[in-house]
Structure 1
Amino acid sequence: MPQAHFYSKPTSVYWTCKALLDQRTISQLTQIQNVKGWRLGAIIHRLKHEYGWPICTEYRQPDGMALYSMPPDTDRAKLRFPKSAKALGVVEGCE
């Protein structure tokens, strides 16, 4: 049986990258509402550890929900992107 369903959908990865680059603070709840995704923690972990994104994590009280954001001074041109979000790495005016 294929196990592809255990990995994040490309739309969820793209949405997560775009939301962070748009300086949004996101949580699992916002991902569910926007793209019906359930793997935000896994996507964030991969972006931080495999792609080196400087993602900040804050835990909301009292429920402990994780809120994720990027520092405002993050240089998009220096980020590495997952395959499904490569288009977000294109900087206008550059080839």
Structure 2
Amino acid sequence: MANSERWYSDPTQIYWTCKALIGGRILSTKTEIREVKGWRLAAITEKLRKQYGWPILTDYRGPKNVAHYRLAPGTDIARLRLPPSAKSLCDRLDGAAHE
């Protein structure tokens, strides 16, 4: 893997984030910690936004302004570019394009 492609997040966390967002979930760090024992949700979503062009929205909730991430309504998931660790989601994206 080229150094420029290296992420400092576990590939399973990146995959989980992509799959959850594509599945329409709203994610917070608390959810990430509970489900994949990760702490890098903000970094992962920011990379997906900037490098891969994902239309991720962030809402801040509660008195501690906890960030919650979701895909923008109307996102064409078949057009999303996937990071290397989430390429296996291509089948799911292809299926969505044909539904």
Could you tell me the TM-score, scaled by structure 2's length?
Answer: 0.83
Q: CA RMSD in A?
A: 1.6
Aligned AA (2:38)? G
CA contact (8 A) 1:76 1:89 kept: no
Q: What are the superposed Cα offsets for residues 21-67 of structure 1, whole Å, 9 maximum, x if unpaired?
A: 11000000000000000111100010000000000000012111100
Moved more, 23-32 or 68-77: 68-77
Stretches of 4+ aligned residues off by more than 6 angstroms: none
Aligned to 1:69: 70
Matches of residues 80-91 of structure 1 in structure 2 within 5 Å? 80-90=81-91, 91=94
User: Matched residue of 2:52: which SS?
Assistant: coil
Aligned AA (1:31)? E
In 2, Cα distance between the equivalents of 1:83 and 1:32? Answer: 22
Aligned AA (2:80)? L
Q: Which runs of 5+ in 2 are unaligned?
A: 1-6
Could you tell me the TM-score, scaled by structure 1's length?
Answer: 0.87
Aligned to 1:52: 53
How far 1:88 sits from its partner (Å)?
A: 1.2
Matches of residues 1-95 of structure 1 in structure 2 within 5 Å? 7-90=8-91, 91-92=94-95
In 2, Cα distance between the equivalents of 1:87 and 1:73? Answer: 23
| Greater percentage in helix | 2
CA contact (8 A) 1:58 1:67 kept: yes
Moved more, 35-44 or 66-75: 66-75
